[in-house]
Each structure stands twice: as structure tokens, then as C-alpha cells.
């Protein structure tokens, strides 16, 4: 199977290319990127072929592509891939507008290609265990969920993260998506109401975008949930971020930390300590699912529609911040 990389704008691409290479009988064809310097740099780093254009990569008929461009540039690349008959794994968020997300879903469906969205947390073993417990009724009715997906301001990783035209927004765009997707999946229910507040007190010298956010969700089944999506980790913290859930049910309470399996490493080679993660690799499982869906000619575990529904939630959060009131979604 031949898989191409379309853009290395997102730093997750650096993991995904290695995840692909770890799967038997998968060939990474190479990298195309509209930033020539960036593309050539990573092609050399990963000892793979450099394509001078996306069209050149698609002309060699890849079975699938991984789109890791800036958020606002997902749609044109997904459209190009769909028209070429290539299956697509697109970095999150699927799009920066609901309209773009809908077009992408529709185009891939019309072209008969897979559109999968990069939500690796569904493949976390600890999240999976809690999901199985919930579906077996182990927690009973879920009354409330407290979620956190915090991080540091990612400007130092890629400058475009704090450019609204390219990123679509700040912490709300970046960090609502994982937990919103998990909760839709785990609760098997849709979000009816969104209320959000945001500010940019944190990292105020680096960006004018929101860096702090708290989002409240009400689901159709009655569950209420909050998501702290803030870029609140300081530069000296051992990791860029993390994800946790606290689920309060009629039969008990469960707390989940998806990145707890770490060693804290202190070394003179780095200015700050860092976490050495020794747990299961959710990215590897996600990439494996994309490849398996292509091989088995089936829908992936995470579809373009799932990505579209999360973009709806993000858009509603921004409307709520702007209006200062609850925003209702059509369910």
C-alpha cells in the first residue's frame, strides 16, 4: 500500500510518518508541501522522496494520503485527494468552518473515498476501557463530565498556530475537539447546547487569540460536561499538554488520565524536565485503523461526519463567546 504525506505544516506529521513506516507492507511514497523549504527539510530528515507539488504526488496514484496542512488549508487538499481517488486521513480539526467541513464530507462520499479524522484519543487503551464499562452499564446514567485538554501555546512548534487566518482560532479551535469527539462517542448522544467563555490572559505577549477557554456542553441524553481547553501549561512544564476526564455516574465516579504512564526525565541537555511516555501509542493505533479501513474497504472508526459534528461544536463555542449566551444546535 502506498501512502503519501500532504504537507508537514502540523507537527503531528513527524509522528504519523513513523507510524506508517511501522506497519508491514506500507510504503511512504514521500512528501509534498506548498512550503518548499519545509517540505525538503522533512523529506531529507525522514529520508523520503520530495514531490514538488501535490499534483505530482497524486499523479502517482497513492492508495491514501495523510493531510497535515494548516487548519484552513485542509479543504483544498482533501478535495484534491478525493478527486484523485485517494483515501484521506485529515488532521484535526477537519475544517475551520462548518461549511467547509460539510463540503469535504460530501465530496469524499461522492468520490467513494474514505475520509477519516485524526482523533487518536479514541484509540487510548484507558479511554477504551472506560468506554466499554459505560456501554456495559457499569456507571449507569452519566450525570456529568469534567474534561481537560490543556497545553502550552504552540507558537514555538509552528508559528501558524497563532495566525487566525491559518489556524481558525486559538485554544478553542485546538483543544475542544478531542474531548468533544470522545464524549459524542462514549455517551452515544449529540450536543444540544453550548456555552463558552474565553480570554487571552495567558501567553498575552505571544498572540491575540484566545489562550484560555471553558466550554460547557449539554447533551441530548441530559449529561452535562465541561471542557477546559486552555493553553495553560507554562514553557517549563514537562509536557506540551494532556487529557483527562472525570465521569460522574449513578453507580460511581471514574477519573481518567490518558497520559499518566510517564517517567519524568531531568537532564542537562534540556532546559526543562520532560515526560518519557511508556504507555500504548494511540497515534500508532489510529494510523493502523486508517490503513486497515483501506485494506478492508470499509468505513473507518472515525468518519468525516464525526469530524463535521465536532466542527459544529467549535463554531457554536465561538458564537457563544461572542454573544455571551447559550447556543443551541440542531440535533
Measured CA distances, 205 to 13, 153, 168, 228, 321 (Å): 28, 11, 19, 21, 22
Kindly state the cell numbers that stand for 99: 461549511
Give the pLDDT of residue 236.
86
Q: What is the pTM of this model?
A: 0.95
Closest listed residue to residue 306, CA positions, set 175, 187, 180, 222: 180
Fold of 121-280+304-328: Dihydrodipicolinate Reductase; domain 2 (3.30.360)
Q: With DSSP H G I counted as helix, E B as strand and the rest as coil, what are the percentages for the chain, rounded to 5?
A: 40, 25, 35
Give the pLDDT of residue 259.
82
Give the pLDDT of residue 237.
86
| 169 contacts 311 by C-beta, under 8 angstroms | no
> pLDDT category, 330, cuts 50, 70, 90?
confident
What number does CATH give the domain 2-118? 3.40.50.720
Per-residue pLDDT tens digits for 62-104: 999 999 999 999 999 999 999 999 999 999 999 999 999 999 9
| 179 contacts 227 by C-beta, under 8 angstroms | yes
Domain ranges of the chain: 2-118, 121-280+304-328
How confident is the model over 311-330, as a mean pLDDT? Answer: 97
| 235 contacts 243 by C-beta, under 8 angstroms | no
Amino acid at each position: 500500500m502506498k501512502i503519501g504525506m500532504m504537507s508537514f505544516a502540523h507537527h503531528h506529521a513527524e509522528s504519523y510518518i513513523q507510524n506508517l513506516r511501522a506497519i508491514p507492507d506500507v510504503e511512504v511514497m514521500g512528501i509534498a508541501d506548498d512550503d518548499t523549504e519545509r517540505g525538503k527539510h522533512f523529506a531529507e530528515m525522514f529520508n523520503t522522496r520530495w514531490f514538488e507539488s501535490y499534483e505530482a504526488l497524486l499523479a502517482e496514484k497513492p492508495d491514501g494520503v495523510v493531510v497535515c496542512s494548516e487548519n484552513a488549508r485542509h479543504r483544498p487538499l482533501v478535495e484534491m485527494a478525493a478527486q484523485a481517488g485517494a483515501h484521506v486521513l485529515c488532521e484535526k480539526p477537519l475544517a475551520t468552518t462548518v461549511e467547509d467541513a460539510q463540503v469535504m464530507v460530501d465530496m469524499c462520499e461522492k468520490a467513494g473515498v474514505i475520509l477519516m479524522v485524526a482523533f487518536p484519543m479514541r484509540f487510548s487503551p484507558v479511554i477504551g476501557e472506560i468506554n466499554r464499562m459505560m456501554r456495559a452499564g457499569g456507571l449507569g446514567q452519566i450525570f456529568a463530565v469534567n474534561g481537560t485538554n490543556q497545553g502550552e501555546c504552540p507558537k514555538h512548534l509552528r508559528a501558524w498556530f497563532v495566525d487566525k487566518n491559518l489556524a481558525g482560532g486559538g485554544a478553542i479551535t485546538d483543544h475542544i475537539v478531542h474531548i468533544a469527539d470522545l464524549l459524542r462517542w462514549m455517551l452515544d448522544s449529540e450536543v444540544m447546547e453550548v456555552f463558552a467563555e474565553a480570554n487571552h490572559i495567558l501567553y498575552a505577549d505571544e498572540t491575540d487569540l484566545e489562550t484560555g477557554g471553558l466550554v460547557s456542553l449539554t447533551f441530548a441524553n441530559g449529561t452535562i460536561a465541561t471542557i477546559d481547553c486552555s493553553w495553560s501549561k507554562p514553557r517549563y512544564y514537562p509536557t506540551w499538554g494532556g487529557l483527562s476526564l472525570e465521569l460522574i455516574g449513578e453507580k460511581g465516579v471514574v477519573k481518567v488520565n490518558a497520559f499518566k504512564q510517564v517517567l519524568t526525565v531531568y537532564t542537562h541537555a534540556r532546559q526543562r524536565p520532560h515526560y518519557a511516555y511508556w504507555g500504548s501509542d494511540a497515534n500508532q493505533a489510529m494510523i493502523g485503523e486508517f490503513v486497515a479501513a483501506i485494506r478492508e474497504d470499509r468505513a473507518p472508526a472515525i468518519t468525516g461526519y464525526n469530524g463535521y459534528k465536532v466542527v459544529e461544536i467549535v463554531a457554536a463555542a465561538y458564537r457563544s463567546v461572542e454573544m455571551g449566551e447559550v447556543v443551541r444546535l440542531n440535533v
